[in-house]
Structure 1
Amino acid sequence: MKRFFSLLLVGFVGVAAQAQTVHSPGNKLTLRFQLSPSGEPTYQLQFGARPVLKPSRLGMLLQGQPALDKGLTIARVDSSQHDDTWAPVWGEVKQIRNRYKELALTLQQPANNGRRVVVRFRLYDDGMGFRYEFPQQPGLTYFVVQEEKTEFNLPANHKAFWIPGDYDSNEYTYSHTRLSEVNTTPIEPIQLKSAAQRIQTPLMLTSDDGLYVNIHEAALVNYPAMMLNVDTKSFGLTSQLVPSATGAAAYLQAPEHTPWRTIVVSDKAPEVLASKLILNLNEPTAFATTDWIKPQKFVGVWWEMHVNKASWNYADTSNIKLAGTDWSKLKSNGRHGANTANVKRYIDFAAKHGLASVLVEGWNVGWEDWANNWKEEVFDFVTPYPDFNVPELQAYAAGKGVKLMMHHETSSSVTNYERRQDAAYRFMKQYGYDAVKTGYVGRIIPRGEHHDGQWMVNHYNRTAQKTGENQIMVDMHESVRPTGLHRTYPNWLASEAARGNEFNAWSTGNPPEHETILPFTRLMGGPMDYTPGIFQIKLEGWNPERNKGRQVHTTLAKQLALYVTMYSPVQMAADLPEAYEKHLDAFQFIKDVAVDWDDTRILLAEPGDYITTARKAKGKEEWYLGSITDENARTQTVKLDFLTPGTTYEATIYADGKGASWDRNPQAYQIRKQKVNSKTTLKLQLAAGGGAAVSMKPIRNK
């Protein structure tokens, strides 16, 4: 239900017209908007009596036109309130309440032919979103945004969890410093060297007086991603839009609007993780049917390449051209992972253990010299290597009740991929593939564009739309970080867009605190394909020479807990089948745990330290709990009062074993069972870098 109120203020310049105040539906937050004497729009936000944002300026710099940042008057005020409930196609909860108060201010610039821009605020009890809107009007039909002048002026020197503002990669570990200490200079760049004080969103902040503030954006469409420039002296943050190849930020045609700029705020860390503000600010799906979208678990020919047991490429010859090569005459290197016999082994494992799909990377020709060459044509997405029999594997998988998951590495030659998408999706439908993992490793073609710029944002969204039209699910890697668009495109199951588990295989790895930070940062915008479930923690066992000293920086029990604490509707059992065969008792949790949920409770959380989450499986009376910690061992006391009163459950607890730690004894675990109910309190002993996973299933009377 929505109620509207409006006030036309053309020609009226009194104090009432220059300032507006709105309280959130439950009066937790207060927004104040005001024009300065020079006509600069500003806003500020309070949580109760505590300031969240000091007065912060708004504005837009346009190329070849006067800026829309001052000399403005309020021409119209529209306010409304809204309260409804909607059901996501899949997600962490069965229903989501969308309750807010809205304030839309039409600002006019008399000195420049009365140009107009609307600033629209939506104020929730857990935060706020606002965006700029450009109505159709003379003199502002086609226009170029050079930069925004959006500020988030913080009242104090908060602690921040941040990564560098790299326009082409989010695959960094998080720094945890005061705002005054932000400095990306010592950090080795992955693709683009960030400015010293430029960082990315989602940005997680904690104040000394107990506030948790998260700054991000929602519904990123036809616009570049927003980075933040940090003023290390005043603690102000200013928007920095990812530029296009021309240096401008966005090319627009009115009517148009920007994404929502979002601020989630609470005095309780679990409430930040529970917020659905970003999802609420996205549009509902336009797909007529969604019953073909299936949350699922999968295995894949993938990790064995990362741990140097197999290769993506078939031959060792370099400088192979895609067209005109007789691949049947090339000699195999003997290490190619995506061969028919090996894929059948994974299909057998998936069928035996009830996993829905098998991902196969390296199946198609072109992997011999694909990386870092900035080549226009590397892959055609329809031609398999000689040892990968597409029809045979389709029939074999179908006979086992298993699906194959397609892989499209574009090598960031995106123009090539767009030319070939229709043919690639027809090929998928012909051979029974209904899900695809895309990849964008390398520098973007068209050259000069960035992974997070407007051109690529439009590509990701078009791909979500096009795959949806073909009833194909998509999981994007090396894409822009999500902004809740999985509500609009529920076939867009997940993205990578952060430093995933794979980094443990070929770098210094992810520190034990990494997974306690990601839910407060990267996952605020949407699910991540983090690829948990690594059981062979020390990687030397796969290739002693090439993996010396490399390992996953968690315990085995923590890898299980990640299936609950790191939400995704598509979860990979990322290790090799032979690693799971050695620990089938622990693998049972991966088999059991759900990927779609009716309810989620964030029980304990502190960014960078620990998270304990409980979730209720979709359509079942089963609950699953995950608890993780950073490098410090902890005891977590967990009340099970979320369980249905009067029901007794059998809890299977997968915990760190005696003497376990992420670095010295990561594979030590223990499994125990006990009866629990809504009055039970569990004490979970978490080792350093460790965790615990619990399944709770109702005991049925026989």
Structure 2
Amino acid sequence: MKRFFPLVFILTSVMQAQTLKSPNGKITVTFSAKEQLTYEVRFENKVVVDVSRLGFKLKDIGDFSSGFRVVGESRSSENTTWQPVLGEVSNIVNSYNEVIFNLLRDSDKRQLNIHFRAFDEGIAFRYEFPKQSNLNYFVVSEELTAFQLTEDYKAFWIPADFDSQEYVYNETPISKIDVDNLNLNNGIGMKSIATRYGVQSPLMLKSTTGLYVNIFEAAVVNYPVMHLAVDPKSYLFSALLAPNPLGEKAYLQAPYNTPWRTVMISKDARDIVGSKMILNLNEPSKIKETSWIKPMKYVGVWWEMHVGKSTWDYAGSQNAQNTGKELIASGKHGATTQNVKRYIDFAATHGFDGVLVEGWNTGWEDWFGNWKEDVFDFVTPYPDFDIKEITEYAKSKNVKMIMHHETSGSVANYERRLDRAFAFMKKYGYGAVKTGYVGRIIPRGEFHDGQTMLNHFNWVAERAAEQKIMVNSHESTRPTGYHRTYPNYIAAEAARGNEFNAWSSGNPPMHETILPFTRLLGGPMDYTPGIFEIKMSAFDPAKKEQVHTTLAKQLALYVTLYSPLQMAADLPENYERHLDAFQFIKDVAADWQDTKYLEAEPGDYLTVARKDKLSERWFLGAITDENARKTEISLDFLTPGVKYKATVYEDGKAAHWEKNPKSYAIKTIQVTSKSKLQLHLAEGGGAAVSIVPIP
């Protein structure tokens, strides 16, 4: 419930130090309007964020960060529980103290509110522009929000690129952040790096004394996502926003609330990775009836294109670009009626919910890199893809089809055709869509991370909700908890996914141990795990690329990387050669009633246990970086007095992510809540465990 403090306290506190404490009293945020708007954050009375600037530069107004005085404040607290439609837990506790400072600038009579919330795991604040006579429409030229850290934290960072998050993470002190020192030949098709000294948020940090800090944001609506400019010498981070073609950051109208800026702080990394603060800062679901929003496990015509077995386009290798000639089948097209039926059969045999098909529609011969307006129409199949026959076949097998809409970055074209594309989906029974935004954005001059595109990604989810369609976006802005408000926004990519292992330098073994502390704080990720044929030389002897994990770690990722949308990404024939290991992918749930983060260290390791929402089954995943690891896991989260069968899928004795990645072993043991599980993780390895009550 929300509780408001008495008015007498509110009035007297205006004259005193303006501080706010977390419910457990460990975190304190102090606000000041003296001369300039600033704040400071302490953890256990130690300064974590030193006095830092707040405010804006507004077009035609200029400075909007000084000259204000506090003319009122209101304080309240909340301790409630709510239930997500899909999630890591069935119930989420939302507990915080809050204060809203009402500010007035005497020089021009303009108003601004600053809203702080203090949770046990961190603080959040946002700017609120109330409705007022002399500030209606306005333009943000620059946001001045800063985060002044006090020491040279170890940082887990990727460059501030306004068009892509698909980078390998760097692990350096703040003082060593420098994009010029990176090898950026990493498989990314396009780059829009904002500055030499810039990083993306969420930014994960660790002090030499073991304090974990994370800088992020929540509930980004009608605003660019926040990157961070950094001064490596002073450890100062400042808000860095993608501009529009005119160089402005955001066009707004009062009343308007900005996204929340967040700082998480803890001595235990598990508190960061397990936090629900970002979700709690978003608005409740705007979809009243949500029974159609369901978790999905799927297979699809996708990985075979990445490994070179087939192509997205009908003609093959984009060999009909701009010719205007009739397309001639190359014989390598993946999205054929016969091939799709094979995937449907596989899904039906092994109990998967859906099948994704990429490359089903015309346009792939002339799409990549041309910055072309009208590439796809989203309703015209290639001649060898009989959508009616496939729909009927899938229905007969009780398998759902997942639509694919690659926009080629031509967002204007997609928006013009969206209603017709969704109607086409509904006609053929598609209840979910994977969207893609590869390439430079049209309208030209817009960035993926700017206000226009952020609005587009949110709008597609809203429009899809009207048609009861679930959305999985790729190459989008990274999520900030908006899936609480629109839970049909079931997943997103927005980071360097598993596909990069097929045709680039790949993702190093530590990559998956960092994602839960960064990208996944904002929402579930469609990482596409489950690759069993690790080395790409199996498809082409000349290829040197490979997945940088063991096979057992690929199983563990289904637990450690949360998503209610999980793909068994490899080819059916590769699973058929390892049906014993494939059993874990078939068994593992995708929606949870409880989650326990048992061990966590960014860049090193992560161990997670999750309880299936629909049963008493538990699943455990443990992963490590390039270093082998032995660990003992207490199973005290199990129900006392109940016996369980634990099936352990682990690295073989000689397993190694590079030298021997497919070596694994499976064993079955009986356990109880008093048991301890001994796990050995190979270099780049992992372990996956299913724990089922014994009747």
- TM tier, smaller: over 0.9
- Residue type matched to 1:33 in 2? F
- Residue type matched to 1:231 in 2? D
State the alpha-carbon separation in 1 of the partners of residues 658 and 677 from structure 2: 26
1:219-246 per-residue CA deviation (whole Å, 9 max, x = no partner) reads 0100001111111111111111111111
State the shift of 1:106 in Å.
Answer: 1.0
State the match for 2:97 in structure 1.
101
State the alpha-carbon separation in 2 of the partners of residues 53 and 609 from structure 1: 26
Number of aligned residues: 689
* TM-score when normalising by structure 2: 0.97
- 8 Å CA contact 1:171–1:497 kept in 2: the answer is yes
State the shift of 1:16 in Å.
Answer: 4.8
Write the mapping of 1:288-437 to structure 2, written as runs, cut at 5 A.
288-316=288-316, 318=319, 329-437=326-434
State the alpha-carbon separation in 1 of the partners of residues 14 and 383 from structure 2: 74
1:192-250 per-residue CA deviation (whole Å, 9 max, x = no partner) reads 13311111000000011221111111001000011111111111111111111110000
In structure 2, which of residues 548, 552, 565 is the aligned counterpart of residue 553 of structure 1?
Answer: 548
In structure 2, which of residues 653, 656, 675 is the aligned counterpart of residue 658 of structure 1?
Answer: 653
State the alpha-carbon separation in 2 of the partners of residues 448 and 336 from structure 1: 33
State the alpha-carbon separation in 2 of the partners of residues 437 and 264 from structure 1: 31
What SS is found at the alignment partner of 1:564?
helix
State the alpha-carbon separation in 2 of the partners of residues 119 and 184 from structure 1: 33
- Residue type matched to 1:459 in 2? H
Residue 605, structure 1, aligned to residue 600, structure 2: yes
State the alpha-carbon separation in 1 of the partners of residues 91 and 193 from structure 2: 42
* Identical residues among aligned pairs (%): 58
State the match for 1:236 in structure 2.
236
Write the mapping of 1:424-573 to structure 2, written as runs, cut at 5 A.
424-545=421-542, 548-573=543-568
- 8 Å CA contact 2:502–2:547 kept in 1: the answer is yes
State the shift of 1:330 in Å.
Answer: 2.5
State the shift of 1:619 in Å.
Answer: 2.3
Write the mapping of 1:137-286 to structure 2, written as runs, cut at 5 A.
137-187=132-182, 188=184, 190-286=190-286
Change (3 A) 1:337 1:51: same
In structure 1, which of residues 638, 641, 655 is the aligned counterpart of residue 636 of structure 2?
Answer: 641
What SS is found at the alignment partner of 1:585?
helix
State the shift of 1:595 in Å.
Answer: 0.1
What SS is found at the alignment partner of 1:562?
helix
1:138-170 per-residue CA deviation (whole Å, 9 max, x = no partner) reads 221000001111011111111100000000000
- 8 Å CA contact 2:377–2:417 kept in 1: the answer is yes
What SS is found at the alignment partner of 1:445?
coil
State the match for 1:23 in structure 2.
21
What SS is found at the alignment partner of 1:111?
coil
Relative to structure 2, which stretch is displaced further, 17-26 or 93-102?
Answer: 17-26
State the match for 2:626 in structure 1.
631
- Residue type matched to 2:33 in 1? L
- Residue type matched to 1:271 in 2? D
Relative to structure 2, which stretch is displaced further, 195-204 or 16-25?
Answer: 16-25
State the match for 2:612 in structure 1.
617
- 8 Å CA contact 1:228–1:237 kept in 2: the answer is yes
State the match for 1:121 in structure 2.
116
State the match for 1:68 in structure 2.
64
* TM-score when normalising by structure 1: 0.96
State the alpha-carbon separation in 2 of the partners of residues 17 and 312 from structure 1: 66
State the alpha-carbon separation in 2 of the partners of residues 458 and 214 from structure 1: 25
1:340-376 per-residue CA deviation (whole Å, 9 max, x = no partner) reads 0000000000000000000000000000020010000
State the match for 1:78 in structure 2.
74
State the shift of 1:257 in Å.
Answer: 1.2
State the alpha-carbon separation in 1 of the partners of residues 472 and 452 from structure 2: 19
1:358-395 per-residue CA deviation (whole Å, 9 max, x = no partner) reads 00000000000200100000000000000000000000
- Residue type matched to 1:653 in 2? V
State the shift of 1:331 in Å.
Answer: 1.3
Relative to structure 2, which stretch is displaced further, 66-75 or 551-560?
Answer: 66-75
State the shift of 1:57 in Å.
Answer: 1.2
- 8 Å CA contact 2:597–2:608 kept in 1: the answer is yes
- 8 Å CA contact 1:639–1:682 kept in 2: the answer is yes
- 8 Å CA contact 2:14–2:71 kept in 1: the answer is no
Name stretches of at least 5 consecutive residues in structure 1 with no aligned partner: none
- Residue type matched to 1:35 in 2? A
1:401-436 per-residue CA deviation (whole Å, 9 max, x = no partner) reads 101100000001000000000000000000010000
What SS is found at the alignment partner of 1:486?
helix
- 8 Å CA contact 1:17–1:74 kept in 2: the answer is no
- 8 Å CA contact 1:435–1:474 kept in 2: the answer is yes
State the shift of 1:18 in Å.
Answer: 6.4
State the shift of 1:66 in Å.
Answer: 3.1
Change (3 A) 1:196 1:8: farther
What SS is found at the alignment partner of 1:313?
coil
What SS is found at the alignment partner of 1:343?
helix
State the shift of 1:41 in Å.
Answer: 1.3
